[in-house]
Structure 1
Amino acid sequence: MDRDVKEVLKACEAMIKEGSSTFYKAFGFLQSPRREAVFVIYAFCRLIDDATDEPERSCYTPEELAERFDQLETAEGHFIWPALRWLFTSFPVSKAPFWKQMEGQRLDSHLTHYESMEQLERYCYLVAGTVGEMLLPVLHGHPDRYVAESGIWLGKAMQIVNIVRDVGEDRDRGRRYIPLELLAKHNYTLQDFQSGVMNSSWTSLIEELCLLAGDWFEKGLCNLEAYPRQSAFCVELAARMYGAILEDAARHHYDVFTRRAHVPAWRKMTLLQQLLKKHGMPLPKEREESTAVS
């Protein structure tokens, strides 16, 4: 790996380290070059997300990202382009899920209030199930259809966690991912939502979403034994840490209007120790500092 490639991959690592401590800690246990490939995928997805959610700090508009991705072989001006060229050269990754990811993120510019669970599941697939499709050729040498489907379910489950965790922030941005269909089912009104009312209706509503996420997590982890051991460990660690966000939300009575649910350090350490033992994984000494849970 030449110096220029190492530099752009380091820049991608810096993005995931800053943007998602859960993903960084979980996938930091992978050996090179799989580890760097995950970082590149995360970095590009982060750019897509920022282009929609935080355009004032984004270096590209969604249209500019799509244009450059379409002309990836010659795209310049940002470290992500040589990093992506390295990714597609090094692993049998398809461009299709990247295009779907961009399609899903563009929904946020016009579809801000969801009506049905069917709409929500499609959104979860486009913005998160596709990440499972991106990662699969990196994490698994020869995945079959069942392993591929599991990766999609896992991504969708993680997106439900994001939606629950970010209810308050999204509401303040003028977005409501929780479908009107679900609000009506639990007799929770739009006025209640705007006011951040926490009552038994809100609790039952969020608990239903958490049960859905749990079901999708179960489907996402059901073919874990088919992965290489190291990949299986990293995938399960990421999933369990993400699932623990919902545990924290429950401990605070699903107050996701005024606080952002997170996983305490002690819980992260417990999960790490449990899964290291389960998968027979020693803590790689050369990665101890960067993967230490804090």
Structure 2
Amino acid sequence: MNEMIFERCEEMIKKGSTSFYHAFYGLPSPRREAVFVIYAFCRIIDDSVDEPEKAPYSIHELREQLQALEKAEGHFIWPALRWLFDTFPMLSKAPFFRQMDGQLSDLTLTQYSTVEELEHYCYLVAGTVGEMLLPVLRDDSGMKVMESGIALGKAMQIVNIIRDVGEDQRRGRRYIPLEMMKAHGYTEEDFHNGIIDEKFVSLLTELRKRALHLFEIGLSDIGTYPQVSGFAIELASSYYASILQAVESNEYDVFTKRAYVNDETKMQLFLEVASRYPALLGEGPKAAVS
């Protein structure tokens, strides 16, 4: 396939998520290119809802084009996806459609009531990414591996929700379930006013524990992956989980501050994860922090 198409996908992941880019850049071809293509399409799906004025397609157009992928034209993502499904025949379109369902729900369900609703949303928009990546990162499958891949996606989405509380609040969205808020004595009025007190800290602490538990489930079978894939997954998870520490360092002010992981911390995490993969040192993966 035209190298420029891969370069366009690579540009999107490099711009949209340096953590993902650094973690997966060391994968061998064609796994690396496949991750870039998956990320690019997921980014386009996300933008179609969050920034429709900048997106090349509406989410309804994306669904139609994916359904008729053999004939889809007009954007680099369509030949990229045709290559993806041809190269990795174990990968199906189903998780992409489910992710679209999740993104569509953002247009109608903006205030979450129950933990069950949140879990389902996290599965649709992020657990599905685990389902997409699994056939790309390993050559076999199975229910347990699929469950762990889904758990990792859900863990990362909960981290996103914690990090983006303020941004989502300004968009009129509240992903923190009302039943969880009530359990901690934190009111909807507190949320709208951006109140950070011991009730809010205990609320975020519960969400943090939920995310870390899902990370633990997700990484429980990391040793069954090809080593380079396992390294990439563990590194991406490590980068993401460290956002929770950044939130704590910001004294849980997720209303006015955006938690991020600096390059020095990323390098420390890289070295820590790399120490568990001594066979890879010196031969790949490539440097994960620039």
Q: After alignment, is 191-200 or 278-287 more displaced? A: 278-287
1:77 lines up with 2:74 in the alignment: yes
Match runs of 1:271-290 below 5 Å: 271-280=269-278, 281-282=280-281, 287-288=286-287
AA of the residue aligned to 2:281: P
Query: What is the RMSD computed on CA atoms of the aligned residues?
Result: 1.2
2: CA distance, partners of 1:227 / 1:235: 9
Alpha carbons of structure 1 residues 156 and 286: separation in structure 2 relative to 1, 3 Å? closer
AA of the residue aligned to 1:279: Y
Kept in 1, the 8 Å contact 2:49–2:103? The answer is yes
Aligned to 1:41, which of 35, 38, 41? Answer: 38
2: CA distance, partners of 1:169 / 1:143: 37
SS in 2 for 1:235: helix
Aligned to 2:83, which of 73, 83, 86? Answer: 86
Percent of pairs with identical residues:
53
Structure 1: unaligned runs, 5 residues or longer: none
Kept in 2, the 8 Å contact 1:241–1:263? The answer is yes
Partner in structure 1 of residue 121 of structure 2: 123
AA of the residue aligned to 2:51: E
* 1:282 CA displacement: 1.9
* 1:264 CA displacement: 1.8
1: CA distance, partners of 2:281 / 2:34: 22
Match runs of 1:20-35 below 5 Å: 20-35=17-32
1:171 lines up with 2:169 in the alignment: yes
* 1:99 CA displacement: 0.7
TM-score by length of 2: 0.97
State the Cα deviation string for residues 39-62 of structure 1 (Å, max 9, x = none).
Answer: 000000000000000011111001
Kept in 1, the 8 Å contact 2:250–2:257? The answer is no
SS in 1 for 2:254: coil
* 1:116 CA displacement: 0.3
Kept in 2, the 8 Å contact 1:50–1:58? The answer is yes
Match runs of 1:81-160 below 5 Å: 81-91=78-88, 92-160=90-158
SS in 1 for 2:70: coil
1:12 lines up with 2:9 in the alignment: yes
Partner in structure 2 of residue 262 of structure 1: 260
Moved over 3 A (4+): 283-288
1: CA distance, partners of 2:151 / 2:108: 25
TM-score by length of 1: 0.96
SS in 2 for 1:73: helix
Alpha carbons of structure 1 residues 283 and 256: separation in structure 2 relative to 1, 3 Å? farther
Kept in 1, the 8 Å contact 2:26–2:285? The answer is no
1:64 lines up with 2:61 in the alignment: yes
1: CA distance, partners of 2:65 / 2:190: 43
SS in 2 for 1:278: coil
1: CA distance, partners of 2:29 / 2:284: 15
2: CA distance, partners of 1:264 / 1:14: 21
1: CA distance, partners of 2:56 / 2:234: 33
